[in-house]
Structure formats: structure tokens, C-alpha cells
Structure 1
Amino acid sequence: MGTLLIRNARNIITMDEGRTCYPGGSLYAEGHEIKAIGYDLPYETADTVIDAMGKIVYPGLINTHHHLYQTFTRNIPWAQDCELFDWLVTLYDIWRHMQPRDVYLSAKVGLGELLKNGCTTASDHFYCFPNGISGELIDEEIQAARELGIRFFPTRGSMDLGRSAGGLPPDEVTQSINVILKDTQRVIETYHDASPFSMLRVGVAPCSPFSVSEDLLRESAKLARSYGVRMHTHLAETQDEEKFCYDKLGLRPLEYMEKTGWTGNDVWYAHGIYFNHDEIHRLGACGCGVAHCPSSNMKLSSGVLPVRQMLNAGVKLGLGVDGSASNDGSNLLAEVRQAYLLHRLTSGLNGLSAEESLWVGTVGSSRVLGWDDAIGSLEPGKAADLFMIDAGRLEFAGALFDDAALPAAVGSGRPVDMTIVGGKVVVKDGRLVGTDEEQLAREAQASAARMLEVASKRTGTNYYKHRL
């Protein structure tokens, strides 16, 4: 168990309950756990000693919603000018050609970008399993996460409602309920670790109302609760989804979740834009969480989350980057700023403050994942998950008056200077430790290009052109 000592920071932004800051402070950790933080610590040395003079230390950001496999379908001209349903239909025809190596490489690229921008814990929603490909694709993501050293929360997603049954996805990327439940059970039993400083927790995550059956929702909920793991799905993302639920089910999306056992303090939804006033209060009362994905919601013209209403109603609210193809990146630090700006634009002074936006991406996100006993803030007893920014950068000159607000109010145009997960340095001087980034980028781009070429030949679509 290694020890870590960070000395003489310009400031340590803890995001604890009192929003305590320690200008000139230090932090000491043993293994994953912070043992002391503040001034005049009784520790002079450690296995890793970092002189943080001039650096601002922040709690690691926590990503509550992602689709890492989508990293290889970013910036595709044919899919750029679409809203959600058309966007999905276009990309399903590419995703159906994924191979296990594609999943591994796309996860390594996406998780690497998250780490380089201050994210220390990432949840992922993997739900696309092409016919004829090994069902153990989520294992490829887990391997990538282990190699990079990020705290990981993969959710075993699923789709069983293909086009032939009235759903949105092609049948070729759906699975039967029996196959889904069997593999979900395997993933939980093989990987889930519920301990506070776990590096890997697992969730259960049927995709969405328009791609899964009622039976799958019910059986997935039973399975998740029998193992005590959390539950995740997309909900209330678009008006098209709302219309689908009305037309096919005769219910609003949240009513459908209530009917199938998908509410409670072990559930979180991605997006949640179109909940009405009464539904928001029901969410707060039952303990549901929501992953807010501002960039994705803007790109796909989905809408704007009623963030202040949710916070006032006690809804657990966190940040997510969403799928890389609807962002088109994996930068949660950018989402902190996007959330701040978006809600200032749409809600004025009733929107998020800059510091609140950082809180949503740290403490708020930890509550959404049910992990706030160990991550989300910097204080004794919690994990040494953090990132540092050099306040001496040119882009911060003239802006060093509110260190807690800096990430949202000013933003960061390049990777953070250091990221630490569980007391271990995983990003140093803005680069991943132990990873040849250039080699990874070359191999990843070649893999992405192969997927696109295969899909183009199969569908006859020129994905390199914009739609007319």
C-alpha cells in the first residue's frame, strides 16, 4: 500500500459539506484513502511526494453516463445533422460491425481522454451486441480501464426490441432476454466489487423504452436487486421518446418506469429532460438520480434539463458526457463549463453558479452512483482521487480570484497537469502514464476507419458526405 504526500498547493478545493478550501495546504494518503488534509501535517515523506506549489487541487470528476464504444463514430458527416432517432438509425448500421478489438480500443481512447481532463471515475452504458460477435464485449472495456487505472462503473446494457417487434434498433444488434440475463449475471458475479474503494462496480442497464421489452425491464430489475447492484437506463430524453411511449404503451416514460419497477434510490436515468413538475417531485421523493449531459443534449437538439427544479426537489443530479458520438468527445471538465453556461443562458441567475456546476460533476455525481461514501470530495476517509491545474498557465492570467469557480467560469483549453486515482498518478504533465498515446491514436483511427468502410459497403451509404 503506497503513500502519497501533496505539499504546498496553491489551493485545495475540497467540495466537502462546508466547501472548505486550503490555500497553501497539503494532503496525505495511504493507499486509496486520504488520511489528512490541511496545514502542518505530521508527515514529511511518502512513497510519492508532489510539490504542488502553484497548483490548484480539485476532487476528481465523476462521469455518470457514457457510451465508450461510440468513440469510433465521432464527427461522421452523414450523422452530423440528425436528431436522436435518425442519428441512432444511422449509427446502428455502423455499430453492428464492431469487433472485440474495436471495443477495447474505443474504451481506451475514451477513458484516456476522460483521465486527461480530470475525470477519475467513469460509468459506461454498453448495450450494443452485434450478432455473431462474442457477448463478452463489456470485458474489453474493463480491461482497458484496468490498464489506464481509472475507477470504473460499467453497466451491462441490453436491447431485445428490434425493428421487427416495433423497436428502433435493427434486429442484428439485439439479444434474447435469456442471453441478456445470463451474461448480465456473469458480469456481476465476475467483476462487481461493492467495497468503498473498489476500482470496479457493475450496474444493470436496459437501453431505453424504445429498444427494450416490458419483460426485459421487469426481469432486469429483479436480477439487479437480487445482487444489490444499481440500475440505469435512458429516460425522458426527447419528445420523440415521449410520443413513442404514449403511442405504444399508453403511458408517459416515468409512468412506464414506475409500472415496471424502475424507480427507487438504486436507479438513475440518463438525460431526464422531459419530466413534468409532478414527476420531478416524485423523482426526488423516491431517490432516483439523473445524469445531465449538456453537450449531447445541445448537439442532438434534445432540449434543456430543468436543473434548478430538480435540485430544489431533491433529485440526485450528476454530469455525464454521454456517447462520444453525440458530444463528440469524452471531456467531463468541458461539461462542467457547458452546464454552467447552458443554464445561465436559459435560466439566468436561477441557473447553476460556476461552483455549483463543479459540485454537480463531483459530489452530485457521486450521489447518483451511490458512491458518495468514498468519492466526490477531498476529505479524510475518502479516496485520493483528484486532479491538478497549474495556475501559472497563460490562459488563467487575470482570472485567479475564485479557484473553486475557475473550471466552469474560465475553463481549460488543454489537459490537466496531473490526475491521481486512488493515490496513484495516472496522468502527469498532461499525458497518460504508461501509455503510448501516439501509437494508441494510430491503431484506434485505423480501427474506426475499418468499421466505417465495412458499413459503407454493406449499406451503400457514403458516410463521408453530409445528408442533402
Structure 2
Amino acid sequence: MKLLIKQAHILTMNSADEQFIGDVWIEGQRIVHIGADLGALEKQADRVLQGAGKVLLPGFVQTHVHLCQTLFRGRADDLELMDWLRNRIWPLEASHDEESVYYSAMLGIGELIRSGTTTILDMETVNYTDSAFRAIAESGLRAISGKVMMDHGDNVPDRLLERTDESLRQSVELLEKWNGLDDGRIQYAFCPRFVVSCTERLLKEVRDLSAHYDVRVHTHASENRGEIELVEQERGMRNVVYLDHIGLANPRLILAHCIWLDEEEKRIIRDKGVKVTHCPGSNLKLASGIAEIPELLSREIHVGLGADGAPCNNNLDMFQEMRLAALIHKAEHGPTSMDAKTVLRMATMGGAEVLGMESEIGSIEPGKRADLIMIDLNDFHTFPSYDVDMYSRIVYSTTRGDVETVLIDGKVVLENKRHLTLDKQRILKESDRSIKRLIKRM
């Protein structure tokens, strides 16, 4: 397929922060040309998308999501982390079946694509991860995902507490089945839930397997003070210090949250090339705290943005995460901290860098994957438009309802706000049926 996008306002998010009104020429999965006027190519195009009066952006990259939890939206409100996990989320995850994981994933994917997210780093539950991968494959979403690993801990439901060997075996089987599928659109990551849920043996095995297969390790760390106290009691040191002690702190490690870091942990993250994902909506709702993101960025630590799961947010909307990330840090660090361009970069190229995919996605440049979103800003809440900074309009004024078209790997998956790869009504109907079944099973 040869596709031409004509006369959009292009925010490239490249290293020079170029933006201009022009065209994008796509062949197959990749961007081939961008320029002020590529109209001469129109006769060669299989398809032309009109971008006049609209904004073209790289698709958003969310670096921490739980698709398996989308069904639990609204069922774990107003709790702190450990109560949220032990009393609501773990029992619900333990009740999952093959079909419910599939529809939970589909429900989340529909919301993600509809709001402009084209790539995610996802963490599933212990069981039925195949179903989530099947949903990802069918939807066209770009994703790194993996089965959650839990072989340790108190108050863990029997169906989630694994034998170490079995957890490792299943993870490797899933990796060998799904990693690299569809020319790399789907990738695998090892996902030990957090130190509290994992034996040292499992974490060391994950360390070695990650190196052997050259894949990411995705886990939670330093999200909550109670969690940190548990780790210190059991392992004798703080989260990041412990992960470094056992050899897991390296450029393949991606840590969600990182709210309560001390100076030694910040140094380890910087020196070892560990990546961080900031989840402001989740962190506020669970009253976990506010991560020191301006400081981490000043230390040249790679930081991405993620919505986390639907039951601790309660949506998967990158526009809300960008706005929150821009606002919550200003009270302490001043109004010029976390400006709109910085935050939009976290949502695009910053996320790509966290995932090690900066040469493939995150900006609009020749040679990169055609993961693009087109936004229509011709509405009351985004005007006046005259001489207003486009980064400001996107981060502070735009909403997910303004996303009109989404392309992933050069394929149109959302057009005129309608999904082309998902059956919305079936997903909504089956999601309700699934959660009803899970509640009865608890």
C-alpha cells in the first residue's frame, strides 16, 4: 500500500523539533518521504488522506499498561496500593478465564487506539496470557507484553501463586511463540510483578533469560512506602539497590512508578541505564505519591508515560496523563517545569527510548514505522488557534475525542473516529458478560 497524507500540520518530534504544513509519503509499513509538498506523488498513491486543517503526530507510546485489568474498571476505587492489590485486584485476576482476558485486552486496546496510543508496554496476569496476545495480534496494536510472574508473597490467591519452575517455563514458551511476530510489531518482556511477589531465584533466572533472549524486563518498583518497607524487611535493602545487587539493573530493565527513590537509587538508575515509566494518574488515585520526574529528566534518565491499569486510573487516555504530568510538578518545581514540549516528547520519543525502539517509532521521519495519529483541533475547546504554540494546544487543550485517524505500521486502524480492526459492540457486550462471570466466581 502506498499512502499519501496531504497538507497536515506535522509535528515531527524529531531531534530538531521541526514542524511544518506538508505531506507524508508511506510505502508499506514505513515513512519514505516528508516534505512541504509531495503532490507529485499523488498519482502513484493507492490511498490519499486529507490532512488540511489537522495535526499529524507520532502515535503515543504508553510505557506501562495492564490490559488484563481493564474489566476491573470502577471495582477498586479509593484504596492504597497493597489493599488495592490484596482485596480487589488479585482476587479478580485469579478469577480470570481465557475469554475474559481476551475481552479485557480488547476493551483496553479499543480505548487506547481511540485516544491515539499506538504502542504499549503491557503486563498481563499469571494465567491466559495467550489470550491477550491474540487480542493484540488481531487489533493491529504495537505492543511489548508478557505474563506476570508471582512465586512468592502473603495473601496471594492460590491461582496466582506459582511454582518458580512453572512460571519460568510458561514465560519462555510465550516468548518463543509471540516475540517478533508480524515483523516485530509484537514483542515479549519478562514481567516479574515486583520484588514482594518474587523469589530471588526467579529474579536471577529472569536476569539471565533477559540477557539470553535480549528482551526487556518490566516490573514495578518503589511505588508505595509500604511496599518499600516489605522489601527492606525481606531482602535487607531498598528496591532498586536490591535489583542492582542481584544484577537486574541494566538498560533492559524498565521500572514502573519509582516514586520513593533515595539518592543511591537515582544514581543506580542513571549509571546502569535503567528506564523509568511515570504514571501520574494512577499514582494520584492510589495516593502513592508524586515521582520526582523533573529531577530524573535533569539527570538524563529516560522516562516514559503510562496510564497503568483501568482500576487505578480509571482510563487509559494519554491526553490525561500528559496534562497531569505537566501540572502536578509545577506546584513544587515552578510553572516552567515540565513544559508542554517536554511532556509531549515523553509521550512519543521518550516512550520509544524507554522501550529501546527510538530508531523505529516516536517521531515522523523517513525510514521509521508509519505509526501516526491525525487530530482535528477545529472545536471550541482548542480555539483560538491564531499564533498559539501547537505543543500547548495538544497537551493542555486537546482531548481523546479529537483523535480522528490512527495508523499503525502504515495501516489505518481508526478512521473518522471509527475502529476498522475491532467490533466495538461485540467487545462491549462480551466485556459485561465476562465481568459478571468473574464476580460470581470470586
TM-score, normalised with respect to structure 1: 0.90
What is the distance in 2 between the residues matched to 1:253 and 1:405? Answer: 36
User: Is residue 228 of structure 2 the alignment partner of residue 228 of structure 1?
Assistant: no
The superposition leaves residues 338-387 of structure 1 with CA deviations (integer Å, 9 ceiling, x where unpaired) of: 21122223422353101111100111110111111100111111111111
**Residue 225 of structure 2 is aligned to residue 239 of structure 1:** yes
**Residue 415 of structure 1: CA displacement?**
5.1
2-structure distance, mates of 1:411, 1:56 = 11
SS in 1 for 2:61: strand
Identity of aligned residues (%): 32
Task: Verify: 1:97 aligned to 2:84, yes or no.
Answer: no
SS of 2:389's partner is coil
Structure 1 CA distance for aligned equivalents of residues 179 and 420 of structure 2 = 26
> Which among 426, 433, 440 is matched to residue 446 of structure 1?
433
Secondary structure class of the residue paired with 1:80: coil
- Contact 1:59 / 1:376 at 8 angstroms: preserved in 2? yes
Deviates more, 1:392-401 or 1:108-117: 392-401
Structure 1: distance between partners of 2:57 and 2:48: 17
| Alignment map for 1:321-400 (pairs within 5 Å) | 321-349=307-335, 351-399=337-385
Q: Is 1:411–2:398 an aligned residue pair? A: yes
Question: Partner residue of 1:273?
Answer: 259
Deviation at 1:58, TM superposition (A): 0.7
Q: Which runs of 5+ in 1 are unaligned?
A: 130-136, 456-468
The residue correspondences of 1:203-222 to structure 2 (distance < 5 A) are 203-222=189-208
Shift of 1:418: 0.8
Within 5 A, what are the aligned runs for 1:102-251? 102-129=100-127, 137-163=128-154, 168-193=155-180, 198-251=184-237
Residues paired across the two proteins, number: 438
Residue number in structure 2 paired with 1:43 = 41
| Per-residue deviation, 1:279 | 2.0
SS of the residue corresponding to residue 382 of structure 1 reads coil
- 1:333 shift after superposition: 2.5
Alpha-carbon distance in structure 1 between the residues aligned to 2:305 and 2:376: 24
Instruction: Indicate the residue corresponding to 1:258 in structure 2.
Output: 244
Structure 2 unaligned regions, length at least 5: none
- Contact kept? 2:116, 2:373, Cα under 8 Å: yes
Give the conservation status (yes or no) of the 8 Å contact 2:382–2:398: no
The 1-side partners of 2:30 and 2:377 are apart by 26
Change (3 A) 1:127 1:350: farther
Counterpart-to-counterpart distance in 1, 2:152 and 2:239: 16
Asked if 2 retains the 8 angstrom alpha-carbon contact of 1:334 and 1:411, the reply is: no
What CA distance in whole angstroms lies between the structure 1 residues aligned with 2:100 and 2:94? 12
> Match for residue 6 of structure 2?
7
Distance 1:287 1:27 in 2: 34
Which residue type is aligned with residue 414 of structure 1?
G
Confirm or deny: 8 A CA contact 1:68 1:126 kept in the other structure.
yes
Give deviations 1:86-137, integer Å, cap 9, x for gaps. 00011212221111100000000101100000101111111333xxxxxxx1
2:415 is matched with which residue? 428
Cα displacement (A) at 1:413: 5.3
Q: Output the amino acid matched with 1:403.
A: M
Q: Residues 236 and 399 of structure 1: is their aligned pair in 2 closer, same or farther, counting only changes over 3 Å?
A: farther
Contact preservation (8 Å) 1:234, 1:270? yes
SS at match of 1:57: strand
Query: How far apart in 2 are the matches of 1:208 and 1:318?
Result: 19
Corresponding residue number in structure 1 for 2:84: 87
C-alpha deviation, 1:31, in angstroms: 1.1
1:19-77 CA distance string (max 9 Å, x none): 00012x1101111111111212251241221011111011100011111111111112x
Paired residues of 1:162 and 1:171 also in contact (CA < 8 A): no
1:141 to 1:254, Cα distance in 2 relative to 1, 3 A: same
Shift of 1:317: 0.4
